[in-house]
Structure 1
Amino acid sequence: MGSARLAGVTTPPSQDPGDDERRARRRELDRQVRDRYGTWRDQPRGLACAVIAAFLVLTTAAFVFAVVAVVMAAR
């Protein structure tokens, strides 16, 4: 019952004359940042590649170490 009444309530736009200018500057800054750095969705790819590469290198090193240990133990 209470939420039905609140669903139609919105915050009125500010009457501050500088708000429109600040919003325009903020939109322009946001656009520049997106153009320069992309979005957060673009960032994890590089991190994921680094994690996978590190895992492969460490796994390979552990496998080589295990093979060497087995060969040395067999002697």
Structure 2
Amino acid sequence: MAITLYALDGCPWCEKVHDALEAAGVDYDTEWVEALHSERDEVRRVSGQRGVPVLVDGDRGVTMCESANIVEYVERTLA
């Protein structure tokens, strides 16, 4: 699977997504982002905004923001 999680170290919402991916046994890559929103050009390029977490599921053509939505997607689609 081509799953990428854009995350910020120490972000509690990113941790929730990470925990959901781990619990579901999903293989994924983490792209660690800068703390300053103004330096998150890669996140903006893939999602249209600079907040994290962002999950990109390249196999399904899905890009998602908001931890609650991502966790639900992981549990329903990827687990």
Point out the structure with the larger helix share: 1
Point out the structure with the larger strand share: 2
TM-score range, shorter chain: under 0.3
TM value normalised by structure 2 = 0.19
Structure with more relative contact order (C-alpha pairs < 8 Å, separation 6 or more)? 2
Q: Which has the larger radius of gyration?
A: 1
TM value normalised by structure 1 = 0.20
